[in-house]
Amino acid sequence: MKFGRTALMRRSWLASLWLLASVAQAQDVADIPDAVRENVELLIQGGLDDTVGYAFVRDLTTEVGPRLAGSEAEERARSWSTQELAELGFQNIRVEPFPIPYWSRRVDRASIVSPAPQDMVITALGGSTSTPPGGVEAEVIRFENMNELRAASSDVVSNKIVFIDEKMTRTQDGSGYGMAVRKRRNCALTTSQKGGAACLIRSVGTQQRRFAHTGMMFRSAVVGDGPAAAVSPPDADQLTRLLEKGPVKVRLEVEVETQPEAPSGNVIAEVVGRERPEEIVLIGCHLDSWDLGTGAVDDGAGCGIVVGAAQLIMSLDEAPRRTVRVVLYGAEEVGLLGGYAYAERHADEMDNHILAAESDFGADKIWRFETRFGEGALPYARAIQRMLEPLGISPSHNLASGGPDISMLPRLGVPVVTPRQNGWDYFDLHHTPDDTFDKIDRDKLNQNIAAYAAFAYLAAEMDWDFRKLTP
Ligand SMILES: [Zn+2]
């Protein structure tokens, strides 16, 4: 098709007008009254100076320690938290209990038997079965990744100890995890289907020190797929070097305890809304941790962040219009069981859940603010994002997932946000004995508290409907 010069010019002029108009519309920012704006500024300053959130994670990880899902320690974490939340002045404090299958390690060790005998640093994966007493001893067969194992014939895998040596990529947004975690989830099952004796994986993590990263296998805790363990990165390197020289024999010994049913629960506390208390702005974290460290970064920090933020909102002259609900989820690490229990128990109230967020990505600073709102609610996203800019947080996309325990809420129609933390170092510590309180930087934690206080307050005070589809 051909156009005359004038027609073309008119077209491009019209096109730029249209573009200008749509850009202006796309950047509509909702108004925030001065009084609300002043409160947000107070909250941000209060967050940066906060001491409550940092003390919460310090004392949780010190006075309770590791908090394995379904254990006596997780139960202690629930009573410890309810007492702390009461002392801080929260309302409607309660535990919503639910049963979970229980798994814990008793023994997990491995060594190279030949050609150069030496111990390896390993950790059993959550859901691993026990080996026969005394362990399994077998020749090792190495695979680059999960796909290579899948493609291997049963003949080559049968009676061997499978070793998947895939490394994880370090990224700021943690996207390397999704790829790397596949071997943790599927190795034992695929190995046992092919008649292998046990499965070892290079730890799902980004550090190069001599400790191993645990984590859940794909199946539920009581239905084990076989013995499986993660190897520390230096031990994975050692194993690989030896395998380049010839056959290597390894002994793996795992002994686990399982129970079909153990108690877990979600701890809930609220700042009750002054006008529409039934409308909920949910900010969450998970209270359980793996057993190796004290679960400071995963996820004591997240609990410090949401408790710190809600307590600041509570300290304002008057409560916001809507309720701010803090949920400390139980049993996240073993399959988001607290998240599912909450969604089920509160299924009838989902329409009243105005917004949800979960902090579960460590203690580093938030660098961008992701939303998952109706298209018509984007001016609210921009208004929040502008208020967060002084904290060094940039606007982001509208495809947020919200966080593990609230990942099922968008499907139920609940708008979510992900205040995205810098995850560059997160997988150095994740699920290791090195996840301890000393790794938390108070200034970085406080930047999170300031941001959570600001957006949760805005969502609870303003009349915004984040589900809104059209302007
Ligand atoms: Zn976590």
| Cα gap 94→442, rounded to integer Å | 28
| Cα gap 401→411, rounded to integer Å | 10
Q: How far is the CA of 136 from the centre of ligand 1 (A)?
A: 32
What is the structure's pLDDT at 470?
Answer: 87
Which tokens go with 307? Answer: 């408790």
Q: How far is the CA of 287 from the centre of ligand 1 (A)?
A: 9
Note the pLDDT tens digit of each residue in 161-210.
Answer: 999 999 999 999 888 898 888 989 899 999 999 999 999 999 999 999 99
Contact 332, 405 (CB under 8 A): yes
The stretches of 295-441 forming alpha helices (DSSP H) are 301-314, 337-345, 378-388, 426-429
Convert 109-140 to b/e letters by CB count within 10 Å (16 or more is b): bbbbeeeeeeebbbbbbbbbbbbeeebbbbeb
Q: How far is the CA of 160 from the centre of ligand 1 (A)?
A: 33
Domains in the chain and their CATH numbers?
30-101+261-461 (3.40.630.10), 107-256 (3.50.30.30)
β-strand partners of 328:
267, 285
Phi-psi region at 335: left, alpha or beta (left = phi > 0; alpha = psi -120 to 50): left
Measured between alpha carbons, how far is residue 146 from residues 88, 149, 238, 431 in Å?
48, 5, 20, 21
Phi-psi region at 118: left, alpha or beta (left = phi > 0; alpha = psi -120 to 50): beta
CB atoms inside a 10 Å sphere around CB 459: 26
Q: How far is the CA of 404 from the centre of ligand 1 (A)?
A: 8
Q: How far is the CA of 332 from the centre of ligand 1 (A)?
A: 7
Q: How far is the CA of 297 from the centre of ligand 1 (A)?
A: 8
H or E element at residue 418: strand 416-421
H or E element at residue 459: helix 442-461
107 CB-side CA count, 13 A: 12
For the chain, which ranges sit under pLDDT 50?
Answer: 1-8, 24, 221
What is the structure's pLDDT at 1?
Answer: 41
